[in-house]
Amino acid sequence: MARFLFVCVHNAGRSVMAEAFANAAGAEAVSAGTIPQERPHPEVTEAMREVGLDVSSHEGRLLTDDLVSWADRVITMGCAVDDQACPSIRYSELEDWGLEDPKGKPPERVRAIRDEIRDRVGSLLTGG
């Protein structure tokens, strides 16, 4: 099975949700950020709890060359990761999902972002 690395700047929202959905489906996935936060955004933790996934203990992880090398697929969440933030990213096949940041959004918007991530992860794992 492919190994997935989900990347966003703070590793506190979109990438955390993608990692949780992928791992819950039996994939091997990690997430990281270029400026990782200590823990997920509270609205993300709550939205994921609503679908039975607890991300509250997630600790932000710094994006490293080793993580990029480990991954078979690197997916950014729409947060403009660039060569300055992580030079190794340009050496990996990279796709960007262009997702809105859930930080500070009302619950219904966070749920919509969560559901889009769940659908994208599902398609990713089924080869879609």
Catalytic residue annotation: 8, 79, 86
d(CA 83, CA 70): 18
Q: How far is CA 86 from CA 53, 74, 89, 91, in A?
A: 29, 12, 6, 10
DSSP 24-38: HTT-EEEEEBSS--S
d(CA 41, CA 100): 14
d(CA 114, CA 31): 15
